[in-house]
Amino acid sequence: MNKDNSSDHIPLSVPHLDGNEWAYVKECLDTNWVSSAGKYVEKFEARAASYVGRQYGVACVNGTSALHVGLLVAGVGADDEVVMPPLTFVAPANAVRYTGAYPVFVDVRPDTWQLDVGKVAEFLKEGCHWSGKRLVNKKTGRTVKAILPVHLIGHAVDMDPLMALAREFDLVVVEDNAESLGAAYRGRKVGSHGLIACLSFNGNKVITCGGGGMVLTDDRQLADRVRYLTTQAKDDPVENIHGAIGYNYRLTNMQAAMGLAQLEQLDSFVARKRQIARRYQSELAQVAGIVHQQVAGDVLPSYWLYTILIDKKTFGLDSREVMQSLRQAGIESRPFWHPLHSQKVFADCYSFNVSAADRLYREALSLPSSVGMTDAQQDRVIDLIRSLGSASGSKK
C-alpha cells in the first residue's frame, strides 16, 4: 500500500475517514440539521438496511442501545433467559440484563470460535422442558425466550441450523452483528437471518459514526416500535403524552452523515480487511505454535480483527507475553474478552459446557487490522511475531 511508517505506533483498529465524511458533516453544520432528525438519518438507515438485505433500519446512539431495544421489541422481559455465547464483548450480555432477563451462556466452537449450535441444541433438548407453552430451563426454572448469536470478529454463526432450532423451540433470534458487517453466510449478508439484527458503528468497528448503532428487521411493526421506544415513546409529542417507558436512543443527523459516508466505502474496507487477513494467514502459516481461525466453508468473513491463537507449548511464549513484546515495539494487540460466565456480575447466570471459551480466552490475540495499515506496518507485526517464535525456540 502507501508509505512506510516504520517508526509509527501501529494501532489495533482505527477509523479510516477517506470519503465524504467532511462534506456530509459540514452540510449538517451549514444547514443547522445537527440533531436527531434530518435526511442523513433516513439515508443512513435505508442504505444500511439494504446493504444487509433488510427492509428496515432504525439508527440508535450505539450498538448496545440497539441490542437493548431489539431484545425488548422481540418480547424479552424480566426473568426470561436468552441463549448467547460467553466469549464476546460484554455489551450483548448487559443488554439482556437491562431487560431484566438473564443470559444463558452456551459454549463457542473450538475451531470457528462462534456460538456452538450443536451445544445450543443439546441445551434446548436436554437442559429444558416444556411447561405448557413455556420452554423452561430445568436448572433455573426460568423461561427461555430468545437466542442471541454474536457473530465474532468478522465471522458468522452457523445460522441455518440455529434458525431451525429457534423454529422448533419457538424462540426469537436477535443477531448481534456489531463485528461482522460485510461478512456473508451462504450467499447472504450476515445480519439478515434473525427477527432482528443489531449493528454497531463504534470507533473501532469496520465503519464508524464515532458512536452509533442500528436495529435491522423485515417487520414493519417492530421497526415502528423501535423508533417509538428510542424517541421517548411519545404518543403525543406536543402534549408530551407517553405510552411506555421510552429511551433517548436516537442517532444524530451529524453522526448519520458520517455513517453514510463510511457506508459508501464499506465494500472497499472489507476488501482491504480480507487482504490483510490473507497476508497474516500466508506469512504466519509456517510459524509453529500459531493457530489460525477455521473458516466454515459457507462463510465469507469480513475479518474485522485478525486473530490468532498462540500455543505456548509450541511457540514458547503465551499470548500475553507476545502482547507485551508487541507493545514494547509500539504495536497494539489485544486478547479476547474475559469469558462472561466467570465474571462476578454474571454469577447468577446459568452456563452450559463452556470449556472452549476458556481456552480461546487464554490463547487468542487480535492483531492490528486497520483498513489504513500499510503493508510495511503489517510486515513489522509479522516479522516481530516470527522472531519471537524463533527466539523462544518454537518447535516445528
Ligand X SMILES: Cc1ncc(COP(=O)(O)O)c(C=O)c1O
- Under the binding rule (CB under 6 A), the answer on residue 175 touching ligand X is no
- Choice between 112 and 202, CB closer to ligand X: 202
Question: Smallest distance, Å, CB 176 to ligand X?
Answer: 5
Q: Count other Cβ atoms within 10 Å, centred on residue 149.
A: 29
- Choice between 64 and 369, CB closer to ligand X: 64
- Taking CB under 6 A as the binding criterion, the range among 60-68, 220-228, 230-238, 239-247 that sits at the site for ligand X is 60-68
**336 is written with which cell numbers?**
479476547
- Under the binding rule (CB under 6 A), the answer on residue 91 touching ligand X is yes
Q: What is the DSSP letter of 163?
A: H
Q: Which listed residue (178, 195, 261, 326) binds ligand X by CB under 6 A? A: 178
For cell 435505508, the residue is: 46
Q: How far apart are the first and last CA of the chain?
A: 32
Q: What are 261-264's contacts with CB under 8 Å, separation 24+?
A: 261/17, 261/19, 261/20, 261/21, 261/23, 261/24, 261/25, 262/15, 262/17, 262/19, 262/21, 262/201, 262/207, 262/208, 262/209, 263/44, 263/47, 263/48, 263/51, 263/207, 264/19, 264/20
- Under the binding rule (CB under 6 A), the answer on residue 179 touching ligand X is yes
Please check whether residue 132 is in contact with residue 143, taking contact to mean a CB–CB distance below 8 angstroms.
Answer: no
- Under the binding rule (CB under 6 A), the answer on residue 340 touching ligand X is no
Question: Smallest distance, Å, CB 276 to ligand X?
Answer: 19
Question: Smallest distance, Å, CB 358 to ligand X?
Answer: 19
CA dist 261 and 27 (Å) reads 12
Question: Smallest distance, Å, CB 193 to ligand X?
Answer: 16
* Binding map of ligand X across residues 124-163, x = CB under 6 A, - = no contact: --------------------------x-------------
Residue nearest to ligand X (CB): 63
Q: Which listed residue (158, 176, 318, 363) binds ligand X by CB under 6 A? A: 176
- Choice between 137 and 262, CB closer to ligand X: 262
CA-CA distances (angstroms) from residue 170 to 75, 83, 146, 299? 12, 13, 9, 26
Give the residues across from 144 on adjacent strands. 81
Three-class secondary structure assignment of 56-87? EEEEECCHHHHHHHHHHHCCCCCCEEEEECCC
Q: What is the DSSP letter of 378?
A: H
Question: Smallest distance, Å, CB 99 to ligand X?
Answer: 15
CA dist 369 and 297 (Å) reads 23
- Under the binding rule (CB under 6 A), the answer on residue 88 touching ligand X is yes
**374 is written with which cell numbers?**
500499510
Question: Smallest distance, Å, CB 116 to ligand X?
Answer: 17
- Choice between 128 and 183, CB closer to ligand X: 183
CA dist 288 and 129 (Å) reads 46
Question: Smallest distance, Å, CB 370 to ligand X?
Answer: 16
> Nearest 10 degrees: CA dihedral of 383, 384, 388, 389?
-30
Q: Which listed residue (63, 85, 289, 301) binds ligand X by CB under 6 A? A: 63
- Under the binding rule (CB under 6 A), the answer on residue 200 touching ligand X is yes
- Choice between 273 and 380, CB closer to ligand X: 273
- Choice between 284 and 299, CB closer to ligand X: 299
- Under the binding rule (CB under 6 A), the answer on residue 259 touching ligand X is no
Judged by the rule CB under 6 A, the positions of this chain that interact with ligand X are 62-64, 88-89, 91-92, 150, 176, 178-179, 200, 202, 213
